[in-house]
Structure 1
């Protein structure tokens, strides 16, 4: 399965204290394809882990768990709310 031309960014990686699990947070630009792309990435987890093992000189590669990072969506919602507040303040000031 190909990931296509989706713009994917790793936004954060959190590794457990025992280094056995890595939680990888990703941002996918195309909102309508996020779930599909995340499932494809999860499907390729074994391949990604084996690639890491072949490229890194570490004792073992942690189990990889992928999650969508919705921080940018949250920021966008807050910006829209702030903009609406300013617009309402401007309307009240003009009355």
Structure 2
């Protein structure tokens, strides 16, 4: 997993990481169970790779990707359309004192891994690595 940082460039605190992971786990469960009342979301299997919290814990940005990477924009639109209900379900399922604003972004981790894998399989790069 890539090192995340705050907007000011500092590494996240342990509290931010702990709350973000708790939020990610509950959000994944909510989406997996199909608790959200949306037919589009019910047809999708969505992976939540990471949730980043702001230092004040008021904004949670979830990095998501539909299984297989197909229909990314449709999944993102459905999640954004239902963010208020999802936010309520996640907070209800956890022990948070307040509900952070929920934002969704596409998770580019898998694309980065594919690009790295392709780069490492290039003959010129392999030759340099073997030397």
Alpha-carbon contact 1:6-1:30 (below 8 Å) kept: no
Aligned equivalent of 2:108: 70
Point out where structure 1 has 5 or more consecutive residues left out of the alignment. 90-95
**Do 1:9 and 1:26's aligned partners in 2 also have CA atoms closer than 8 Å?**
yes
Q: TM (normalized to structure 1)?
A: 0.77
* Counterpart for residue 89 of structure 2: 51
TM-score normalised by length of structure 2: 0.59
* Uncovered stretches (5+) of structure 2, i.e. residues with no partner: 1-37
Larger relative contact order (Cα-Cα within 8 Å, sequence gap ≥ 6): 1
CA RMSD of aligned residues (A): 2.2
Q: Structure 1 13/81 Cα, relative in aligned 2: closer, same or farther at 3 Å?
A: same
State how far apart, in whole Å, the 2-side matches of 1:53 and 1:31 are: 27
Rg comparison, structure with higher value: 1
